[in-house]
Structure 1
Amino acid sequence: MPVSRILAILAAFALPLGSAQALTWDETVNGDLSGDGNAPTLIGSLDAGNNLFSGTMGSLGGTGPLDADVWNFTIAAGYYLTGINLVDYSAQSGSPSNESFMAIANGSTIDFNNPLGHLSNTLWGYGQDGFGNTYVDLLALLDAGPMFAGFGFDGPLPSGNYTFWIQEGSDQINYGIEFVTSPVPVPEPGSLLLLGVAGMWVLRRRRR
């Protein structure tokens, strides 16, 4: 059996129990997600695979208090956040909106009033991301940001603790968003051998 296949099997057995069963948070079942950036809903560590969050945000007709949804989650060591996919989006008015907003921050809270502290943020626009289509790549939109100041990031998000905030300004929106976590790739045996050789070469040069 190839060494790479053996390593893959060992890695699978090393995953925590239950990691194959991705998490689902449905507001109609699990309760309303927090609307407070200082006290987000604590999700804990996301499972490997596709973790689905579904609920309602905004306000019908844009009147009355606007319902924000905010949740805090952890990407475990050895994993990356490789996708944030919009899998469902429908406006109560029947018309797509241009005023949906999302932001992500490092840590256990997110400041609604200070985008400088955001890792990234952006508006969702109908022309920009094609509302009504499934699997719209929201992570790519955040990666291309931030739109309103912030730190910015490049590529998949590494292990750590994050807070995610979504908001709609002029309608009531039903949404479904998948957070996809994937294990950090195990280096191929050939790569490990090259690293070992390079390390020995560096040691030999230091001894000279």
Structure 2
Amino acid sequence: MRNTIIAGIASSVLLAAPAFASTFNVDEFDFGDFDGAVNAGNDNVGTATAGFSFVSGGLAGECVPGDCNNDIGGDTQDSFFFTIADGFQLDEISVATEGGGPEDLTISFSLREAMQPYTSLGFGTFEINESGLVDFDDPLAAGTYSFSAFGQSASEAGDFDAFWAVAFVVSAATTAPVPLPASAPLLLAGLGGVWALRRRKKAV
């Protein structure tokens, strides 16, 4: 069921941009579960060429006021590597979240170099059930990079459960970036019902 929903997210974007292929479409369950901290052993989800590439996963844990990423027994951060193929460049990173938790819950996304000291290249924080763009100095050249999604903060203590999805938008490095449809709103639209299904499954 979950893989079907992820495929729906990809399809919603690709239908709006039929000239562009999906290089990879990965859910964290394909890897069992993404690692939390950024480290050399993180999974590499694939190599992207022109078009959209998708990755998605889920977070869950307990927040304390001001911090949702230090629950030792929770799954509060997902980290992985991805590669931009030679001759291509990363133009945009669109993200979307859906879920629930304490008041003012936010989810953050971090783009880093894939080698120590894992220098930060981009960052974005969004309220739950919002979408947007991760801010970075685009375009980003071919190479391997690290990406993380994690619980950021909330104004109150309590459990949270969040689903996230990211679209990496890539074009040929020898040409100007090709205008693509706004992928973040489409990603969020494709997430409709995901959190409710996850909650119902947990309740059974």
Q: Would you say same fold, with TM above 0.5?
A: yes
Structure 1 counterpart of 2:52, from 47, 50, 53: 50
Letter in 2 for 1:67: T
CA distance in 2, matches of 1:109, 1:67: 22
Match of 1:35 in 2: 36
Deviation at 1:109, TM superposition (A): 5.5
Write 1 or 2 for the structure with the bigger share of helix.
1
Partner SS, residue 105 of structure 2: coil
CA distance in 1, matches of 2:50, 2:130: 24
Partner SS, residue 23 of structure 2: coil
Deviation at 1:31, TM superposition (A): 2.5
Is there any run of 5+ residues in structure 1 with no aligned partner, and where?
1-18, 112-116, 144-153, 188-208
TM-score, length-normalised on structure 1? Answer: 0.57
Question: What is the correspondence of 1:100-115 to structure 2 with a 5 Å cutoff?
Answer: 100-108=107-115
8 Å contact kept, 1:23–1:47: no
CA distance in 2, matches of 1:29, 1:176: 14
8 Å contact kept, 1:79–1:158: yes
What is the root-mean-square deviation in Å for CA atoms of aligned residues?
2.8
CA distance in 1, matches of 2:117, 2:163: 22
CA distance in 2, matches of 1:24, 1:96: 30
Deviation at 1:174, TM superposition (A): 0.6
2:170 paired with 1:173: no
1:60-95: CA deviation from partner (whole Å, max 9, x where unpaired): 555533431111111112111111111x31123386
CA distance in 2, matches of 1:45, 1:52: 11
Question: Identity across aligned pairs (percent)?
Answer: 22
Match of 1:76 in 2: 85
CA distance in 2, matches of 1:66, 1:110: 23
2:94 paired with 1:93: no
Write 1 or 2 for the structure with the bigger share of strand.
2
8 Å contact kept, 1:76–1:160: yes
Letter in 2 for 1:36: A
Question: What is the correspondence of 1:131-146 to structure 2 with a 5 Å cutoff?
Answer: 131-134=128-131, 136-138=132-134, 142-143=135-136
1:172-206: CA deviation from partner (whole Å, max 9, x where unpaired): 2111111111112448xxxxxxxxxxxxxxxxxxx
**Number of equivalenced pairs:** 143
Deviation at 1:30, TM superposition (A): 4.3
2:140 paired with 1:157: yes
Is there any run of 5+ residues in structure 2 with no aligned partner, and where?
1-19, 154-159, 177-204
